[in-house]
C-alpha cells in the first residue's frame, strides 16, 4: 500500500475578482521512503498542493478529490489527525515559522512535548534536552548547546532552516513536505541544507514531497518528479528519465533554463512569454510552446502514459479530456 494516494485533487480559491482554479485533477501516489519533487513556475499550484495535503489551506478554498488517503486513512474528512504525527511541513521562510520571542530550546521542547502528549508519554526535561541536542546534531548544527540558547534572530538562514528540519524530526512524521526550503538561501548553504534533507530522509526512511521551482535542485534529491503548469500535471516520471529525455515541451523549457557552465554567457534559454492560464483554449502551455500546432487548442490534452512516464501533450497521443 502506498503511503499517500491522491486521486483527482482540485482546489479552487474564491476571490473578489472570481474563482482561481489552482489545482486541477492532480493524481499521484507516494511510497514509503520515496522523495517526490514538485516542480513548476510561480503560480503553478505547488504550494496549494502542499497546503491541501497538510490541511493548511485557508477555509474559503474549495477542495475536491475522488480519493486522498494517508496510511489508508481518508484525508478528506480527517486531515487534522495527520498534521504533525503523519505530515509535517517546512516552509520557504523558516523565520516566519519560528516564534521570534522564544529560544530554540523552548521551541524544540514544545515539539517534543507535542509528540509525548500524543503518545501519552510523560515529558522529561533532561531527556528532551538530550534529544534536542541529538536532533540538532542530526541536522549538522556544529554547536548544538549554544544554538539551543539562542533566539531565531541570532541564527543564520541556513541554521534556521536546519532548526526547522530538527523541529519536524522531533515530531517523527512519516511524510515531510518541504515548500521551497532552500530558495531563500545562498547556493553554498542551499547545497548544505539539501544534503541535510537527503541524509535525514535516507537515515529515517522517511517520505518527502520536495517543492521547488528549480529543476536542478529537484534533480539532486528527488526519486521522481512531477511537473506542474496551471495546476495540472504536465509530466511525471523518474528524475533521471525526465532529465535525460524530457517529453513535455514545458519540461524541456525548464531544463533549458538551468544555468549551465558550458553555455555561453547570455545564452541562457528561457521559456518565452509570461505565465498565465486565463483565456487559454486547450493546452494551457500552448501560447508559450515552441512546438504549438493546430491540435493543441482543440481541447486539454489527456495525461498519456508513455514509456513509464505520464505526459500531457498531443505529441504523445492526440486525445483530449
Ligand atoms: N489564498 C489564495 N487566494 C486566492 N488565490 C490564491 C491563493 N493562494 C494561491 N492562489 C492562486 O493559486 C494559484 C497557485 O498558487 P500557488 O501559491 O499554489 O503557486 P506556487 O506554484 O506555489 O507559486 P510560487 O512558486 O510563487 O510559490 C495562483 O494563481 C495563485 O495566485
Ligand atoms: Mg509556493
Residue range 98-134, pLDDT digits in tens: 999 999 999 999 999 999 998 899 999 999 999 999 9
Which residue matches cell numbers 492532480? 26
Evaluate: CB of 57 within 6 angstroms of ligand 1. no
5-9, 68-72, 143-147: least confident range: 68-72
Sign of the Cα torsion 287, 290, 295, 300 reads negative
Q: How many whole angstroms separate alpha carbon 177 and alpha carbon 191?
A: 18
Evaluate: CB of 40 within 6 angstroms of ligand 1. yes
Q: How many whole angstroms separate alpha carbon 108 and alpha carbon 167?
A: 6
Q: Are 296 and 282 in contact (CB under 8 A)?
A: yes
Residue 57, pLDDT > 60, answer yes
> How many angstroms separate the alpha carbon of residue 13 from the centre of ligand 1?
9
> How many angstroms separate the alpha carbon of residue 47 from the centre of ligand 2?
4
Evaluate: CB of 20 within 6 angstroms of ligand 1. yes
> How many angstroms separate the alpha carbon of residue 211 from the centre of ligand 2?
8
pLDDT of residue 7: 97
Q: By alpha-carbon position, which residue is closest to atom 3 of ligand 1? A: 13
pLDDT of residue 91: 81
Evaluate: CB of 230 within 6 angstroms of ligand 1. no
What does the domain layout of the chain look like in residue ranges? 1-86+173-259+269-279, 100-172
Burial class (CB in 10 A: 0-12, 13-18, 19+), 189: middle
How much of the chain exceeds pLDDT 90, in percent?
Answer: 76
Evaluate: CB of 213 within 6 angstroms of ligand 1. yes
CB atoms within 10 A of CB 80: 9
What cell numbers appear for 17 in the block? 475578482
Evaluate: CB of 278 within 6 angstroms of ligand 1. no
**pLDDT: which is higher, 189 or 94:** 189
What cell numbers appear for 229 in the block? 503548469
Pairing of strands 175-179, 87-90: parallel
* Length of the chain measured in residues: 321
> How many angstroms separate the alpha carbon of residue 49 from the centre of ligand 1?
10
Q: How many whole angstroms separate alpha carbon 311 and alpha carbon 250?
A: 10
Q: Are 273 and 288 in contact (CB under 8 A)?
A: yes
> Residue 76: pLDDT band by 50, 70, 90 thresholds?
confident
Q: Are 174 and 87 in contact (CB under 8 A)?
A: yes
Q: Write down the H helix ranges in the chain.
A: 46-54, 75-82, 94-97, 104-118, 125-138, 144-148, 157-170, 187-204, 215-221, 239-244, 249-256
Domain 1-86+173-259+269-279 fold: Rossmann fold (3.40.50)
> How many angstroms separate the alpha carbon of residue 7 from the centre of ligand 2?
21
In the chain, the N- to C-terminal Cα span, in Å, equals 28
Helix (H) or strand (E) holding 13: strand 4-15
Amino acid at each position: 500500500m502506498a503511503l499517500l494516494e491522491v486521486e483527482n485533487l482540485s482546489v479552487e480559491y474564491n476571490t473578489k475578482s472570481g474563482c482561481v482554479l489552482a489545482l486541477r485533477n492532480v493524481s499521484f501516489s507516494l511510497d514509503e521512503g520515496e522523495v517526490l519533487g514538485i516542480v513548476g513556475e510561480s503560480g503553478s499550484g505547488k504550494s496549494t498542493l502542499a497546503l491541501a495535503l497538510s490541511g493548511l489551506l485557508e477555509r474559503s478554498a474549495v477542495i475536491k478529490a475522488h480519493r486522498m488517503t494517508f496510511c489508508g486513512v481518508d484525508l478528506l474528512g480527517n486531515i487534522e489527525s495527520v498534521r504533525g504525527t503523519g505530515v509535517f511541513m517546512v516552509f520557504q521562510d523558516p523565520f516566519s515559522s519560528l516564534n521570534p520571542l522564544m529560544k530554540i530550546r523552548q521551541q524544540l521542547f514544545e515539539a517534543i512535548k507535542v509528540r509525548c502528549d500524543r503518545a501519552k508519554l510523560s515529558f522529561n526535561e533532561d531527556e528532551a534536552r538530550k534529544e534536542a541536542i541529538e536532533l540538532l546534531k542530526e541536522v549538522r548544527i556544529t554547536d548544538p548547546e549554544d544554538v539551543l540558547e539562542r533566539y531565531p534572530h541570532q541564527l543564520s538562514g541556513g541554521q534556521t532552516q536546519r532548526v526547522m528540519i530538527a523541529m519536524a524530526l522531533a515530531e517523527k512524521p512519516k511524510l515531510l513536505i518541504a515548500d521551497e526550503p532552500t530558495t531563500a538561501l545562498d547556493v553554498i548553504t542551499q547545497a548544505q541544507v539539501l544534503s541535510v534533507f537527503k541524509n535525514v530522509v535516507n537515515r529515517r526512511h522517511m517520505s518527502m514531497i520536495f517543492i521547488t521551482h528549480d529543476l536542478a535542485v529537484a534533480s539532486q534529491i528527488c526519486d521522481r518528479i512531477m511537473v506542474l503548469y496551471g495546476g495540472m500535471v504536465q509530466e511525471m516520471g523518474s528524475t533521471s528519465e525526465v532529465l535525460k529525455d524530457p517529453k513535455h515541451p514545458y519540461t524541456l523549457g525548464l531544463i533549458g533554463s538551468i544555468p549551465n557552465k558550458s553555455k555561453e554567457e547570455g545564452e541562457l534559454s528561457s521559456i518565452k512569454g509570461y505565465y498565465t492560464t486565463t483565456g487559454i483554449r486547450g493546452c494551457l502551455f500552448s501560447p508559450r510552446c515552441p512546438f504549438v500546432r493546430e491540435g493543441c487548442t482543440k481541447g486539454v490534452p489527456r495525461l498519456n502514459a508513455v514509456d513509464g512516464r505520464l505526459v500531457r501533450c498531443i505529441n504523445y497521443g492526440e486525445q483530449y479530456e
